[in-house]
Amino acid sequence: MPHVIVKMYPGRSEEQKRRLADEIAKDVVAITQCAESVVSVAIEEVDPAEWAEAVYRPDILDKKNTLYKEPGYNPFE
């Protein structure tokens, strides 16, 4: 607790993904005041052609009640 999942297009280097995970973990620790040892961060790469149905619909449209930062786009419009 907590576990953060980042879904994004492929193309970032392993170093960029490590840095992103480290920075997310630091912010989670600072904001939630938990130990770093209990924070985990996963990065899932999703093909752009699959984004709308694999991420946008299930994680954004269907879970609006859990969304704290909405994107400024809608691939279905």
pTM across the whole model: 0.92
Omega before 2 within 30 of 0, i.e. cis: yes
Based on the fold, state whether residues 29 and 53 are members of the same structural domain.
Answer: no
Based on the fold, state whether residues 53 and 20 are members of the same structural domain.
Answer: no
Given this model, what pLDDT does residue 34 score?
Answer: 98
Given this model, what pLDDT does residue 75 score?
Answer: 97
Instruction: Note down the domain range covering 59.
Output: 48-77
Number of domains in the chain: 2
> Average pLDDT of the chain?
98
What is the distance between the alpha carbons of residues 22 and 17, in angstroms, rounded to a whole number?
A: 9
**Residues 34-64: pLDDT tens digits?**
999 999 999 999 999 999 999 999 999 999 9
Based on the fold, state whether residues 41 and 52 are members of the same structural domain.
Answer: no
Output the CA–CA distances (angstroms, integers) from residue 12 to 8, 19, 20, 33, in the order listed: 9, 11, 10, 29
The CATH number assigned to the domain holding 30 equals: 3.30.429.10
Given this model, what pLDDT does residue 50 score?
Answer: 98
Given this model, what pLDDT does residue 56 score?
Answer: 98
Rg (CA), the chain: 14
Residues classed as catalytic: 2
